[in-house]
């Protein structure tokens, strides 16, 4: 089936079947209907409405200021644009302070946006929350390693799993999240060797970002993939295009042509 062939929307069962077949899961972010439609038509299996929209759309320095209302607005837009990919919405900072709060917020996201799943950052401390959500019918993607919502607690952005204590914790977290019912786990900035080990130890897919090539899938921020940035992308992202340059050139030509075609417009003074 070509990437352009219409198809039913993928489900968590489809993602599980891909893992069993050894088929890689391709995941990208999107934050609006147009980009979601383009990503969807190109064949992405999963689309993440990430709280990274704080950085790449809303102009924040981190994901922390992103609100639940922000996520719902953008997730609903993505839902209107994508027809095939399974849609996952991040629960932002402050939305999962306890299992009951997380459940209320997750239910609101699913009801108001129509997405199929939510993603929660955190390891062992999030296990009771994942269990609570799954018990109430919410599909959950876990997220361990570098968790941007915990950037201040962690002390910055860096590779995880380099020492044995960190590696042991990540192994435990991955197993615990799988046991709690998560249907996939994002591994962000985990050392490639450890990411491969964790991937082989689980039956659910791992979705890597900056974690090497041996995860069961990969996710990237769409802006990093297509070069739609005003700052350099992360070192692990290889832009396939330079959309920012195309936009700058097109706008500059428009501005120049608009000014040249019209010339000075004389000011007509009214006689009072």
Question: Nearest 10 degrees: CA dihedral of 248, 250, 252, 254?
Answer: -150
Q: What is the pTM of this model?
A: 0.92
Q: What is the pLDDT of residue 102?
A: 98
Range in 142-146, 210-214, 268-272 with the lowest mean pLDDT:
268-272
Q: What is the pLDDT of residue 264?
A: 78
* pLDDT (average), residues 108-116: 98
Residues 256 and 267: their CA atoms lie apart, in Å, by 21
Q: Which of 23, 116, 188, 253 is catalytic?
A: 188
In 3D, which of 88, 101, 83 has the Cα closest to residue 36? 83
Is residue 3 over pLDDT 70? no
Domains and their CATH numbers in the chain: 12-227 (3.20.20.60)
* pLDDT (average), residues 239-268: 91
Q: What confidence tens digit (pLDDT) does each residue in 11-29 have? A: 999 999 999 999 999 999 9
Is residue 72 over pLDDT 70? yes
Whole-number Cα distances in Å, 224 to 117, 177, 242:
23, 28, 10
* pLDDT (average), residues 106-126: 98
Is residue 1 over pLDDT 50? no
Q: What is the pLDDT of residue 7?
A: 64
Q: What confidence tens digit (pLDDT) does each residue in 165-220 have? A: 999 999 999 999 999 999 999 999 999 999 999 999 999 999 999 999 999 999 99
CB of 58 closer than 8 Å to CB of 229: no
pLDDT band at 2 (very low <50, low <70, confident <90, very high): very low
Angle at 191 between CA 187 and CA 94, to 5 degrees: 35
Counted residue by residue, the chain has a size of 272
Looking at beta carbons, which pairs linking 228-237 to residues 24 or more positions away fall under 8 Å? 228/56, 229/56, 234/210, 235/210, 236/189, 236/209, 236/210
130, two tokens: 């994942």
Task: Please say if 257 is a catalytic residue.
Answer: no
Residues 184 and 203: their CA atoms lie apart, in Å, by 9
Q: 3-state secondary structure string, 95-136?
A: CCCCHHHHHHHHHHHHHHHCCCEEEEEECHHHHHHHHHHHHC
Range in 71-75, 133-137, 194-198, 262-266 with the lowest mean pLDDT:
262-266
Q: What is the pLDDT of residue 158?
A: 83
Q: What confidence tens digit (pLDDT) does each residue in 87-102 have? A: 999 999 999 999 999 9
Percent of the chain, pLDDT > 90?
Answer: 86
- Tell me the pLDDT of the chain averaged across its residues: 94
Helix (H) or strand (E) segment spanning residue 71: helix 68-81
CB of 133 closer than 8 Å to CB of 140: yes
Q: What confidence tens digit (pLDDT) does each residue in 32-59 have? A: 999 999 999 999 999 999 999 999 999 9
């Amino acid at each position: 089936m070509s990437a352009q062939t219409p198809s039913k929307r993928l489900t968590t069962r489809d993602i599980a079947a891909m893992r069993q077949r050894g088929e890689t899961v391709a995941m990208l972010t999107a934050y609006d209907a147009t980009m979601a439609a383009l990503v969807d038509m190109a064949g992405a299996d999963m689309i993440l409405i990430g709280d990274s929209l704080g950085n790449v759309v809303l102009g924040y320095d981190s994901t922390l200021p992103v609100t639940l209302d922000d996520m719902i607005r953008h997730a609903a837009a993505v839902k209107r644009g994508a027809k095939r990919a399974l849609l996952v919405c991040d629960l932002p900072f402050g939305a999962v302070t306890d299992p009951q709060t997380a459940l209320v917020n997750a239910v609101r996201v699913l009801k108001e946006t129509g997405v199929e799943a939510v993603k929660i950052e955190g390891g062992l401390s999030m296990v009771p929350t994942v269990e609570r959500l799954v018990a109430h019918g919410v599909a959950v993607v876990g997220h361990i390693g570098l968790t941007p919502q915990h950037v201040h607690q962690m002390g910055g952005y860096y590779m995880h799993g380099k020492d044995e204590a960190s590696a042991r914790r990540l192994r435990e977290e991955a197993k615990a999240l799988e046991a709690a019912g998560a249907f996939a786990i994002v591994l962000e900035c985990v050392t490639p060797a450890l990411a491969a080990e964790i991937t082989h130890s689980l039956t659910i897919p791992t979705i890597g970002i900056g974690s090497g090539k041996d995860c069961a899938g990969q996710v990237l921020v769409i802006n990093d993939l297509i070069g739609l940035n005003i700052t350099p992308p992360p070192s692990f992202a290889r832009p396939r295009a330079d959309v920012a340059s195309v936009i700058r050139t097109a706008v500059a030509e428009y501005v120049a042509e608009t000014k040249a075609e019209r010339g000075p417009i004389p000011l007509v003074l009214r006689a009072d």
